[in-house]
Structure 1
Amino acid sequence: MLPPSLLMPLMRRLDPETAHDLSLTALRLGLAGADTTPDDPILETQAFGRTLKNPIGLAAGFDKNAAAVNGLGRLGFGFVEAGTVTLRPQPGNPKPRLFRLTEDKAVINRMGFNNEGLDVFLENLERVDRRRVVLGANVGINKEGADPERDYPTLVNAVSPHADYITINISSPNTPGLRDLQSEQRLAAILSGISSPKPVFVKIAPDLSEDGLEAVISVAVQHGVTGLIISNTTIARPATLKSPFRGETGGLSGAPLFAPSTAMLARAYKLAGGRLMFIGAGGISAPEDALAKILAGASLVQLYTGFAYQGPALLPKLKTGLAVLLRTLGFANVAQAVGAGT
C-alpha cells in the first residue's frame, strides 16, 4: 500500500466518486494504515456517555453503509458517524453527482442518500468494534414512499442498540422536500414519535433563517433532543467561487461553508443557553478552524471535505495543532474552550 503522501495525489486524478469508493474499500480491508500515536491528554472529551480520545469526528456521508467503520476508527478519529441510511435501499441520483471544486477547496454533491438500506446497515454495525470506536448513526428518509413521522422513529429504534448516538438528517438538499421537515410543526411531529435511550441529534442546514433556527432550537429543547449538528451542506453559491463546477446543483461543502456555518453555530449556542450540545461541521481543514468551531460553541467537530482532500494525514495535524492552540490560550481541556469566543 502506498503511503498517503503518494496515494492522495493519485486518487485526485480519478473521478471523485470512484476515488471515494476505492478509499472505502481500502479502509474496509484494513489497507489504509493506522494512527498509533497517543493523543494529547488535553484533547480528551466526554460525550455520548463515552470518553473520546479527541473531539474530532468524521461526518456522515463518507461511509453511508457503515462498511468501513473499524478502518476509519484506526485512523485516529475521536468518533465516526456512519450513514445516512434509509429504510429501503436506493441508488441515489444519476451520475455524475460528486464534483471537486479544487480551486475553492470545496465539493458539490447531489448524491441523494444512495445506500444499501437499513438491513445491510445493521449487519455492518454489528461488526463494529464498539470498544475502540465511538459510533454515531445518521438516519434519513427514502426519496419515494416515505412517511417521515413513521420512518424516523423506526430507524432510530433499529439503530439505537448499535450506536452511541443517533442523528436525524432533515437537512440534505438532495432529497426533495427534506428541508421542509425543519419547520417547527413537522420537526415537532417527528420528534414526538422518537424515544431513544441514546443521545439524539438533529442535523440542520446553514441556509435556515434566523427565525427558523430559533424555532428548531425551541422544538429540540422541548422534545428532549441532546443537540444539533451545525451544519449540513449549503445551496448558496458565494460569488468568490472560481471552479468551473460552481454552477452544479447540489450541496456545497468545504472552505466556503466555514464562515456561514460557524456564524450559525455561534448564534445557536447563544440561543440555546446551555440547553443543547453542538457538533460543529463545515470547512474544517486546519487546527485554527477546529478551534474556531469550539470557541463558537461546539463541544465536538466533524470533518468531511477536508478529509477527502488531505486524507488521513489531516488528523494528526489537526490534533497536534489544536492541543497547542488550547494550551496557548490557557485552556486545560476542550470543555473549557466551548463557547468561550461567543
Structure 2
Amino acid sequence: MGATFSGYVRVNSDSVSDKESIAASMSASINGLVTHGSIDATWSSDVNSAQVSKTTEMGYVATGMDPVTVTGDFNVSSLENTVSSLAPASSGIAGVTGKPIAVVCVTWDQVGQIQATCSQTVLQKLQLVDLQSTLDRLSLEYAQLSYVVATANRLAGSGAVVNAYVPLLHQLANYAQDRLARIAGLRIRDIRWLAANAGSVDWYEISPLLLPMLGWVGRGQAHVQVWYSLDWAFGSPTDNQIVTVTPSANPAEVQLGHWVHARPEGDDPPQTMDLYYRVFSNSGTPTITTRMNWYDPWGPGSGQFDGNVVQMLAGANLTSVAAWTPWNNNRMSVAVVDTAYSLPPGKQ
C-alpha cells in the first residue's frame, strides 16, 4: 500500500491587481521551488514584502488522518516541519520508499486549467499520445521477455528437459534479461527517438526468436541431425535433415531406408543394407543409438555395425556414428543439435 502527504499555502488578495503584485513578488522563489524542490525562508519574506491587503491560509492532509487547516501567520517552516515528521516507512520491497514527486505553484484563476489537464488521460497529460504504439510494443515485449526469463530458469532446474539443452536455456534467459534491462533503462527522449525512427523498436523485440525454442525444449524434445551416405554400389543415396524427437521409454527404431547392393554375379537373392537409429530414455537419460545392418546371402560378410551410444547430456559427445567396415565411406550419423544460440546480426 502507498501513502500520500500533500500540503498547500493559499494567499487571498482583495483584488486582481493585488493578486498580480503578490505573484510578481513571489516569482523568483516559486521558480526556485520548482527547480530545487525545497522551500526556504524566501517564501515568507517574498509574500510579506508584497504591500497589498491579503490573508494567508495553510493546510495539509496525509493518508489516515483528517485534513488540517491553519490560518493566521504565514509560516511555511511549520509546514515543512510537518512533512519532515511524517518520515516514510519501508514497504518491505527493496528500494521502495516514499518520495515527493511534484510541486504546483499557481494562482487560483488557473485552477480551471489544472482541472482540464487532470481530466485528460495519463498519456495526454505527459504529452505522450504520439508514442502510444511504441509504448505498447515495448510493454508487450517486456512482458514476453519476463516470461522467457522466468520459464527458462525454472526449466533449467526442473530435470524435465533434455539435459543437453540446459546451457541453451541459460542463454535464452540471459538474452531476455539483457533486453529487459535495456527497455527498463529507456527515458522519454529515447522513446521519442524510437517512435520517430521506423524499425528502431525491432531491435528490442527478440521474444519471437526465443519463445519457439523455449517451447520444444520445455516439452522435453530434442533436435537431431540425421545424415547418411552410401557408395555407388547402392546407388549413391544420401540425406541430411534435422528432425524433432521426443525421447520415450521404449520407442521403435526409425528405419532410414533399405538398399540393394549391385553384384556383378547377380542379385538373386540380393545383398542389402538397412540403416536405423533410435532415441529413447535409458533410466531417465535420453540416449541415441545407430546401426547399419548388412545382409549378404552369398558369403560370410553379413553383420550389424553399431554406432557409439550417446547420452544427451550437457558437455558430452552428442554424435553417434556408425560405419560399414572396411568400406568406411558407407556411414551414418545422428547428432544432437541446436544446443546453443546466437542472436542474428541485426539483433545483437
- TM-score band by shorter chain is under 0.3
Give the structure with the larger strand fraction. 2
TM-score (structure 2 length as normaliser):
0.20
TM-score (structure 1 length as normaliser):
0.20
Say which structure, 1 or 2, has more relative contact order (CA 8 Å, 6+ apart).
1
Larger radius of gyration: 2
